[in-house]
Amino acid sequence: MRILLDECVNARLRHELPGHEVQTVSHAGWAGIKNGQLLRLVADSGRFDVLLTLDKSMPHQQQLMSLPFAVVIMRTISNDIVALRPLLPELLQRLPEFLPGHAYVLNAPE
């Protein structure tokens, strides 16, 4: 699976997703770009299957249905790698079910 980490996601997460091609927004050359334009760039690039973000408002502010990739929102207390790790088992298990043009929410265990 080809995964793009939004700027708000700790870049160290790319090392926590074995077997997947993971890149950060910064590494892709899209640092500082606002959500709407970023989604268009990602769509036009055709390089990613999933965008991982912590931005809870993205599905409400953007039209996602026409996107050729899925958006996964990780809800956690921070973007610290320690806070993100508890979401990884569910993320890795569910990756194959994520469909383009849809948003999915993963909630950190309590």
| Mean pLDDT, residues 70-97 | 96
List the one residue out of 61, 72, 71 whose CA is nearest residue 107: 72
0.75 exceeded by pTM: yes
Q: What is the pLDDT of residue 64?
A: 84
Q: For 21-54, what is each residue's pLDDT tens digit? A: 999 999 999 999 998 899 999 999 999 999 999 9
Q: CA 71, CA 52: separation in Å to the nearest integer?
A: 6
Give the structural domain span for 57. 2-107
Q: What is the pLDDT of residue 45?
A: 96
How many folded domains does the chain comprise? 1
Q: pLDDT category, 86, cuts 50, 70, 90?
A: very high
Q: 72 forms bridges with which residues in the sheet?
A: 52, 104
